[in-house]
Amino acid sequence: MNNPSFRPLFIFSIPVLILLVLAIPPVWTTMTGDVIKIKTAPVDPTDLFRGSYVALKYEIESVKPSQVDDSIKTEFNTRKMGDYKKVYVRLKQNSDGLYDVDYVTKEKPAKGVYLKGELEIPYELQNAETIQIRYGLDNYFASEEKAKEMEKDALANPSVAVVKVRNGNVVLTDIIIE
């Protein structure tokens, strides 16, 4: 690095390398992940600044306290309420072919289908009927016409999200409205 002509090349290559490293998990998941379906409900189709999209809410985002591992519950007492904790959510396939939450743990499962998520520590654990988990699957971008059509159809019919999963990483690939 003693040659001054390489310094700009080195400096400008750092942000590009960082972006490439950040893009590898979603691209690898899209290329090699397992396809699963999750029940969902579209909420809102348009954002003025980001374009047309469908905001989604999933049934697997709400889990019962009995599905959460005891080691996570003990951390509720030492962390601030409303904070987020990284967790792994093991999924199981139901009779309809859709995936539901089996259990939530802080240890990476050795096998099976699981997602990485962020568990929101509830404000009142004793009275909490459900605990919220975020997966980063909240938005599905579509053309303006398709987003409006999806909103209208989704209000009358159930919808399913098609996602690809690999090592806890997840990528939303399609929305199917029945």
Q: Could you tell me the sign of the dihedral formed by the alpha carbons of 59, 37, 136, 144, in that order?
A: negative
Q: What is the pTM of this model?
A: 0.75
Query: Please, what is the average pLDDT of the chain?
Result: 83
User: Cα 75 to the chain's mean position, in Å?
Assistant: 22
Q: What is the DSSP string of 79-107?
A: S-TT-EEEEEEEEEE-TTS-EEEEEEESS
Phi first, then psi, for residue 44 (nearest 5°) are -150, 130
What pLDDT digit, counting tens, does each position of 105-157 carry?
A: 999 999 889 999 999 887 776 677 888 899 888 777 777 777 777 777 777 77
pLDDT at res. 125 = 66
What pLDDT digit, counting tens, does each position of 65-99 carry?
A: 889 888 888 777 776 676 788 999 999 999 989 99
User: Cα 39 to the chain's mean position, in Å?
Assistant: 13
